[in-house]
Amino acid sequence: MTSLSNESFIYHFKRKNMFGETLFPLNQLKDSNPSLYKEHVKKYEGREKLLLRKVPLLDCLWNDVIHLSPINPQIILDIFKEKELVPEIRRGEVFETYKIPIQNLNEDQIVCFQSFNFDPNNFDPSLNKFWKFDRNSYEELKSVPKEQVDVWLSDKAAGRVLFWYSHTMHILYRGSIDISACEIINCS
């Protein structure tokens, strides 16, 4: 797909075992493909409380939405390399990523989310911000907030797992996404 210069995009990693032309929220997989659900729910081990978290404005659960990023993952990988945050075993790995035009999505099914919770064991909902997505004012983020980089450096120093988007804005989409015509970019 050829992109127009005025189009804005959001991003979603393509899983190595991805098949079909549709992205589904985790809860939809529970019924339609239980074995795939079991594989993907593993990323919440130790963080099971997230599966019960409600998403304001969309009136659904955390795993009823698809989590998307307003940041091209290549920008994050470049910082990981610069700050030596990439483990040796993952250096050189290529991450295929769907580049999804926001025009393809129903704006009424989108909210933005950003967490300012820095302690995963003491979740404070008042430190999270949710707001309605506005297609007309949306702009891709061209850099990673300093606060996110500081979290990565702190997590690495403490031996914690690095979460790519823990403190950057998320785009949460309620429903499935047709990715048949989306460009796939390679990030490394």
Say if pTM beats, i.e. exceeds, 0.75. yes
For 58-76, the pLDDT digits (tens) are 999 999 999 999 999 999 9
Residue 61: per-residue pLDDT = 94
Judge contact between 113 and 130, C-beta under 8 A: yes
Q: What pLDDT was estimated at residue 123?
A: 61
Per-residue tokens: 33: 């493909």
Q: Which helix (H) or strand (E) holds 131?
A: strand 128-132
Termini Cα distance of the chain: 21
Reply yes or no on whether the pLDDT at 160 is more than 90: no
Q: What is the pLDDT at residue 91?
A: 66
Residue identified by tokens 């659904």 is: 60
